Amino acid sequence: MHPAVEKKARLSSAERKLLPWATCFDSCGFRPSPHRTLGHSASLPYVDSMCTNNDANACAQPPAVSERISMSINYHLAKFTASYGTSAQLPDSVRPEVSFVGRSNVGKSSIMNKIFRRKNLVKVSSTPGKTRSINFFECDWVDFVDLPGYGYAKVAKSEKDRWAELMGVYFGDERRFALVVSLIDIRHAASALDEQMIAYLKRFDFPFIVVFTKSDKLGKNAAAKQAAALRKQLDIPADRTVLTSSLKGDGIDALRKMIEEACRIEVEHHGQAS
């Protein structure tokens, strides 16, 4: 079992309701939000939007535990499923979920395209703040989730509030979190918001890894040195980090392996739990 994705005891939904968004995420505007009641989203059109034909069996389901001998993900199957701008729309989590978080412009959408071997499936922009909704991509038996970036100052207060509520509900929800991929730009020290995000993931036992992005912007030695400094700053062991470049493709195979291992563990755990 890869230590980076070792399954920890999960929070009960009651415990997750106590998430301290107000204290943990003060400066980036998170705040506690009421939980969706169970079954609330059962009538949402999400299931329909995942299935593009009428054959229910065509919707990829996670492999059963007994079938997990080969649990690779076929990334060619990646497709956009839905975008959610309000928490009430969020669908129930039905499959392992891999969620991408990080500062605005850190490269979340770019790395998802690279993982999928696609150029423009996930919208990328040089203008920060591009991703403002929670965007779901179905990929074989896994859901990949592109989350809005934090720390982008030039956003109206009302928009920040909407985003904070959305993220609060997403992370406070009882979802099938297989892996949270927390991205940090290799060129800079982790910001206070990055530190808070990682403290939050640690505190609530989310399975997570830290991905350093844009390694092509530094020389090899400088990138390695900076990665070591960031690991120290964030107090993260080396095997929970990957140095990547979405431009060059460095580190993407290693990242795919970590994702697959995390999803395998999630399915195993989910199978045992149900």
Ligand X SMILES: Nc1nc2c(ncn2[C@@H]2O[C@H](COP(=O)(O)OP(=O)(O)OP(=O)(O)O)[C@@H](O)[C@H]2O)c(=O)[nH]1
Pick what 265 binds: Mg ion, ligand X, none; C-beta below 5 to 8 Å, kind-dependent.
Answer: none
**In the block, residue with structure tokens 């900076």:** 226
- For the beta sheet containing 134-139, the strands, ordered from the edge strand earlier in sequence to the opposite edge, are 79-84, 134-139, 142-146, 97-102, 177-185, 208-213, 241-243
Instruction: Show the binding pattern over residues 64-103: x = contacts Mg ion (CB under 5 A), - = does not.
Output: ----------------------------------------
Least distance in Å: CB of 246 to Mg ion?
12
222: DSSP letter: H
Query: Distance between CA atoms of 254 and 242, rounded to whole angstroms?
Result: 7
Contact between 104 and Mg ion per CB under 5 A? no
Nearer to Mg ion, 41 or 109 (CB): 109
Pick what 245 binds: Mg ion, ligand X, none; C-beta below 5 to 8 Å, kind-dependent.
Answer: ligand X
Instruction: Scan residues 119-148 and list those touching Mg ion (CB under 5 A).
Output: 130-131
Query: Distance between CA atoms of 109 and 101, rounded to whole angstroms?
Result: 10
Contact between 109 and Mg ion per CB under 5 A? yes
Residue 142, strand partner residues = 139
Contact positions toward ligand X, by CB under 6 A? 102, 104-110, 124-126, 128-131, 149, 213-214, 216-217, 245-247
Nearer to ligand X, 223 or 262 (CB): 223
Burial class (CB in 10 A: 0-12, 13-18, 19+), 42: exposed
Least distance in Å: CB of 18 to ligand X?
28
Nearer to ligand X, 43 or 127 (CB): 127
Least distance in Å: CB of 130 to Mg ion?
5
CB 262 within 8 A of CB 5: yes
Pick what 105 binds: Mg ion, ligand X, none; C-beta below 5 to 8 Å, kind-dependent.
Answer: ligand X
Least distance in Å: CB of 194 to Mg ion?
16
Query: Which parts of the chain are beta strand (E)?
Result: 79-84, 97-102, 134-139, 142-146, 177-185, 208-213, 241-243
Q: Which residues bind Mg ion (CB under 5 A)?
A: 108-109, 130-131
